[in-house]
Every structure is written in C-alpha cells, then in structure tokens.
C-alpha cells in the first residue's frame, strides 16, 4: 500500500472531493452573510494613510525574500541604558548583558528617546567610564541616542577608545548624530549651514579614526512619537537620509561612503502587519534611493524600537502584549537591532524586573520561537506584499513632495511636515475617542482596582554648569571634533565646550504623545479623589428587568464609565422601581445609568428616571440609542445617552463635570 501521508508525490485525494475554492464563490458566500451591507465599509479596513486593507489576497507569485540581516542570525537584543546616574545605569546594563541582551542603546537627557525627561546625564569622560565599566565594547553593538549632545558623546567615546587602547575598527557603534531629528523634536535650529558643518566635521573625524558602525542616523521615531503615519515616517527617513548625503558630499565625502555613514531607526507598534510591512518597505525604499543616486544597493543598518505612543500607564501589563507583537513584527520584517521599551516606561524609570521582561520578550521569540531562522517569512504573502508595496509607493510620493519644498529641513522650516502629522494625529484621536481604535486597559476593559507596579526613583541629576569655556576651532574637516576629543581626554565637561544657542529658526516642535493620555488624565483625576477620600466615585447602574435583558448594556456601560475612573459595578437585578431607587440612595453615587433592552426602556425607563431624579441623581444616562423615545426620556430626566460609536471622551468629560457641580 502507498503511504499517502509520507510520499512526496502523493496527491491529497480528500481535497479532490470538494469543489475548487474560488474568489467568486467566497465573495458570493460573504455577500449572503452581509445581507446588503456594503462590502467596502464592513470588510475593508483603512490605515492612517488611507491604504485599503482587503480581507483576502491571492499569493504574490514570483516574490523573492528581501535582503535584510544575515540569514539565520538573530537580531541584536538591545537594551536601553538610560538611568540618570551613569553608575546606576552601569549596574543595570551589566545585568542586562549577563541576562541575554546583546547590545546597548545609550539614551541621554534631551534625546528623542528621552520622552519622560529623566534620561542619563553624561557630562564628561568620567561619566562615560562609569557607565561602561566592565562592558566589553568590542563584543556588542552600541547605539547612541543623545539628541544635540550626540557629537559630544561621540568625542568622549573616541577619547575613551584612544586612552584605553581599543581599536576603533573593532567597535560597532551607531553614533546617532542627527541634527535634523533634533530640530524636528525641539522646533529650533541655529541654521542648517552651521548645524551641517558641525555634523560633517564629526563624521569625517570619526571615519578618519576608523570606527566601525555608522555616524549619522535618520530617525523616524520623531514622526511616530508625534502621532504621524507610517507613510510620513518612511518619507521623513528618506528625506533625512538625502539631506545628510548632500551634506556629506558637500564636505568632500564620496556618495558611496556617505550612504554607509547612515543607519535608520523606525518605531514598531502593536499593528503587527503594518509594522512588518513598514520595516520591509524601508529596505525597498532604501535600495530605490541608492539606485536613484547611482549607487549599488547595499545593506542598511536598521534599528527598530517598540513604540512609545502605544504604551499605557493604566493596566500597564497589557504593554507586554503590545511590545511582544511589535518585536514579532520587527523580527519578521528583518530589523538588525531591536529595543523594547519596558512595560512600566510610561509610569516612570523601569526597574530591573521591567528590564528583564523587556529583554526576555525578545529572547523568547528568538530562542523558543526561532523567529529569526526564516529569511523574510512575509515574502510572497499577498496581503503583506501589497501593504509593503503601497507603503513604498506613497512614502516615495510624500518624500518627493518634501523634496520639491527644498528638502526635509526646508519642509520642517516652512511648517509643511507638522500640519500633516497633526492631521493624522487628530484623526486617530477621534477614532480612539469613539473606540473605533480600542486601547485595551485604557478605553476598553479598564481595571480601576489595579495595583500600580513599582518603578525606580529617578535621581535629580542635572547637567553640570560653570566650567571655564574652551575655545574650539571652526567646524571643517574634523578639526573641531578632534579638539573636543582632546578636551574630554583632559577632563573637560560638556558645558566647557558648549555655547549659548543662537537659533534663528523656530517652528512647531514634533513633541511625543501617547495615545491613551486623554483617558489616563480622567483616570488620574478620580484616582486622586479616591486617594484623598478613600472611596472611588461611583456610577450607579440602574439595571431593569431580568439578567438577559440588561447584561450586554450594563457591561458596556461599566467598561465605559470605568475607563474614566469611576467604579461602576453591575448589580444582580432589582424587583421593582422602588428597589432601584432605594439601592441608588444607598450607593453614595450621584450619577446613574439605565441599562436594559429597548422593549423595557419603552415600558419602564421613564418611571425609573423619575424615581432616580427624585432620589437626588445629579446626572442620568441611558445605555443605548433612544430612537423615538428620546423626547420622552429627556422629559423624564435623562441627561444623555451612551452607545457604541459615540464619543466616549465626551461622555466621560460630561460625567466628570457632574462631580464638580
């Protein structure tokens, strides 16, 4: 007998018993279920850039894997070194490295990655020594995220390597010099000519010293943090890259070397498919950019970081799920290095446990899921390929628009980028307010009785001032940078090498936001009331009828009001209107919400509303759309209606106002 389970040539006879599956047959079955509802509105999603996401795609024939990191090798499990005190940061970093991390990202005060404003202060070589004590720099990749201080930190690293006899070529350091990103985040710039001269001076000196790695970075996080779209993030990265290539060419560096001087940072979030497609699109766009400039496509050093804006302060354990999804997307997309924001990062300075979870999120996906072993697993997937190609198409078009304005610096200076980002941010905020984009733990399924996890106390370590100024030569071909290296090697601190900024360009800054902040502000207000009084403000759910009649709407109402910080327990039911009134009076609540079926609303809602108003209710809501009953219900005392698709933040703000009345 032929073994049909193991023979490679065996056909699946079982499948032949069924009619062939066709898209037409599937569509006919779908239309039968939709019963006249529009296919495009029900089953076709849209990204923030308006890209249609279809429910079904055919396989893309002939698709080849995109070249990314070396096949079969894992990405760098990078950990943030960001404790304000370099010595304390060193202890955490050594624990990270001994616990499985394979790289470090040094985050200093004022950097793009310093969203809380409490990151590390590195004033001089002594601080850098304290941070890196016991760290074998020649064994791990390091990325510097230092904002306007990146050049100074780079000079300190050069001084350290020279003093300690470390071969610069043995190091892999992404120095992260990024005057465009600093301008976009801060909203101020001395002028591009001066900023470009200083950046070029540092790049030329670092390359002359032979450091391995990259000197400049095109950092898309500044767009993502501010609420921008995937297309805007990609286009901004392309614009920054071209701005830097032109800058280095003008400084005398051949274009091929200029291209190798850059790395890229992207944000990845809980939208797995979109984040994977974005990372893949970056590879394709980079190759296209190099080809357009007459260069042979080369490897792009691509760093991914889990998104700041998706993190929540409330129910922060959900951040474990968000960051796991984001790391999965980055790994599948082909990122070379990945950083996970610890799950408590939105609350404060993460402790050792939070950092352990951050690195283990990656290690489990590598060591247990073997996620790195397949080169570009998304290749050929119809949906992923279509999304990748559409991101490429739109990002390239947006990049060209900003190029027509004179480049990304000119576009930022003319406030062309900021309103586009603000528009996307506002549209997403509206979707979140109506819970079309739910935030688990914040806008959906809140837990008002949660225990807030511990974070580290961030010491108040300020930048040292008052050092005697040291004159530096003008930025040219590395002379200024070399003077900084010499000064730091002699014990100078940054304030001695810094001068008051004489910025001439002032624009709207692309400040970081988190999507859950409006809900968290409401929660925080009532958390403070709870802490002061010992009792959480309540919303009384006036359930009418049997359990089957009220459970769905009572559950909806509880989730809605608790998202604003109220306590809204669901009662087991009441015998009559008098029992509802008495229970409300005993609850201590001043706000009530009626919950039941449409049929019982028609029969009982007005009587219940009148009874609750008589018992002292300041505000009455009804869960559901009122339909023809609206006029009568309002006359009976109903102040508003809560329903799916409504503006939840508006509902909650009105409820909060009743507490203040």
Residue 469, pLDDT score: 85
- For the chain, which ranges sit under pLDDT 50? 1-6, 8
The DSSP symbol for 383 reads: H
Output the CA torsion 527→529→534→538 (10° steps).
-80
Residues 6+ apart with CB under 8 A from 439: 312, 432, 515, 516, 519
User: What is the CA 492 to chain-centroid distance, rounded?
Assistant: 37
Residue 10, pLDDT score: 52
d(CA 142, CA 150): 13
Residue 501, pLDDT score: 66
Q: Dump pLDDT digits (tens) for 420-473.
A: 999 999 999 999 999 999 999 999 999 999 999 999 998 887 778 767 888 899
Contact 417, 399 (CB under 8 A): no
Q: Which strand (E) or helix (H) includes residue 218?
A: strand 213-219
517-660 placed in CATH 3.90.550.10:
no
Number of H helices, E strands in the chain: 26, 16
Cα dihedral 94, 98, 101, 102 sign: positive
The pair of three-digit structure tokens given for residue 275, joined into one six-digit string: 């984040």
The pair of three-digit structure tokens given for residue 69, joined into one six-digit string: 């990191």
Residue 9, pLDDT score: 52
Residue 179, pLDDT score: 97
Q: Dump pLDDT digits (tens) for 18-53.
A: 788 888 889 999 999 999 899 999 999 999 999 999
Judging by DSSP bridges, how do beta strands 262-268 and 188-189 pair with one another?
unpaired
Residue 258, pLDDT score: 96
Contact 275, 326 (CB under 8 A): yes
* DSSP three-state, residue 166: coil
Q: C-alpha angle 465/469/475, rounded to 5°? A: 115
Output the CA torsion 100→106→108→110 (10° steps).
-100
Contact 226, 220 (CB under 8 A): no
Q: What residues does each domain of the chain span?
A: 76-446+500-506, 517-660
Residues 6+ apart with CB under 8 A from 173: 137, 141, 142, 143, 144, 157, 211, 212, 213
Residue 62, pLDDT score: 86
Residue 12, pLDDT score: 59
Structural fold of domain 76-446+500-506:
TIM Barrel (3.20.20)
Cα dihedral 482, 488, 489, 492 sign: positive
* Fold match, 76-446+500-506 / 517-660: no
């Amino acid at each position: 007998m032929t073994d049909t389970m193991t023979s490679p040539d065996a056909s699946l006879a079982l499948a032949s018993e069924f009619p062939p599956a066709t898209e037409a047959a599937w569509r006919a079955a779908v239309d039968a279920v939709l019963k006249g509802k529009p296919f495009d509105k029900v089953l076709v999603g849209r990204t923030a850039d308006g890209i249609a996401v279809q429910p079904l795609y055919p396989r893309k024939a002939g698709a080849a894997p995109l070249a990314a990191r070396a096949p079969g090798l894992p990405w760098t499990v990078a950990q943030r070194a960001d404790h304000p005190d370099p010595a304390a940061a060193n202890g955490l970093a050594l624990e990270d490295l001994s616990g499985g991390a394979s790289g470090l990202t040094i985050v200093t005060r004022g950097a793009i990655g310093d969203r809380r404003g409490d990151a590390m202060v590195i004033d001089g070589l002594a601080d850098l020594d304290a941070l890196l004590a016991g760290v074998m720099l020649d064994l791990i990749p390091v990325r510097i995220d230092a904002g306007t201080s990146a050049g100074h930190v780079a000079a300190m690293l050069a001084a350290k390597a020279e003093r300690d006899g470390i071969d610069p070529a043995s190091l892999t350091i992404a120095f992260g010099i990024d005057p465009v990103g600093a301008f976009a985040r801060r909203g101020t710039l001395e002028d591009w000519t001066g900023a470009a001269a200083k950046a070029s001076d540092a790049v030329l000196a670092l390359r002359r010293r032979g450091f391995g790695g990259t000197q400049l970075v095109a950092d898309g996080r500044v767009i993502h943090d501010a609420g921008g779209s995937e297309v805007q993030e990609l286009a901004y990265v392309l614009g920054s890259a071209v701005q830097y290539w032109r800058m280095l060419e003008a400084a005398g560096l051949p274009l091929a070397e200029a291209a190798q001087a850059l790395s890229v940072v992207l944000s990845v979030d809980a939208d797995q498919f979109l984040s994977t497609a974005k990372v893949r699109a970056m590879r394709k766009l980079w190759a296209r950019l190099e080809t357009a400039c007459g260069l042979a496509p080369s490897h792009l050093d691509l760093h991914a970081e889990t998104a700041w804006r998706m993190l929540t302060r409330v129910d922060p354990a959900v951040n474990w799920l968000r960051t796991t999804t984001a790391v999965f997307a980055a790994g599948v997309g082909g990122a070379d290095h990945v950083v996970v924001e610890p799950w408590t990062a939105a609350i404060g300075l993460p402790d050792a446990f939070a950092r352990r979870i951050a690195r283990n999120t990656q290690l489990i996906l590598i060591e247990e899921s073997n996620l790195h072993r397949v080169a570009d697993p998304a290749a050929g997937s119809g949906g992923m390929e279509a999304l990748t190609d559409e991101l490429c198409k739109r990002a390239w078009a947006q990049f060209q628009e900003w190029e027509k304005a004179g480049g990304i610096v000119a576009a930022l200076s003319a406030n062309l980028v900021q309103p586009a980002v603000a528009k996307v941010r506002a549209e997403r905020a509206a979707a979140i307010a109506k819970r079309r984009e739910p935030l688990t733990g914040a806008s959906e399924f809140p837990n008002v009785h949660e225990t807030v996890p511990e974070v580290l106390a961030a010491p108040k370590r300020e930048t040292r001032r008052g050092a005697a100024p040291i004159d530096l030569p003008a930025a040219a071909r590395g002379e200024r940078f070399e003077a900084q290296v010499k000064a730091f090697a002699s014990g100078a601190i940054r304030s001695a090498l810094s001068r008051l900024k004489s910025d001439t360009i002032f624009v709207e800054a692309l400040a970081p936001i988190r999507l859950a902040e409006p809900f968290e502000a409401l929660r925080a207000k009532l958390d403070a009331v709870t802490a002061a009084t010992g009792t959480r403000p309540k919303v009384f759910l006036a359930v009418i009828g049997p359990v089957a009649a009220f459970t769905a709407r009572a559950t909806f109402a509880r989730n809605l009001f608790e998202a604003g910080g109220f306590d809204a327990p669901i009662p087991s039911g009441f015998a009559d209107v008098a029992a509802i009134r008495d229970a409300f009076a005993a609850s201590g609540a001043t706000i009530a919400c009626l919950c039941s079926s449409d049929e019982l609303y028609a029969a009982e809602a007005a009587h219940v509303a009148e009874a609750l108003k008589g018992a002292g209710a300041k505000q009455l809501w009804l869960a559901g759309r009122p339909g023809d009953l609206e006029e009568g219900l309002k006359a009976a005392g109903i102040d508003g209606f809560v329903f799916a698709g409504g503006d939840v933040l508006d509902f909650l703000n009105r409820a909060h106002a009743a507490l203040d009345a």
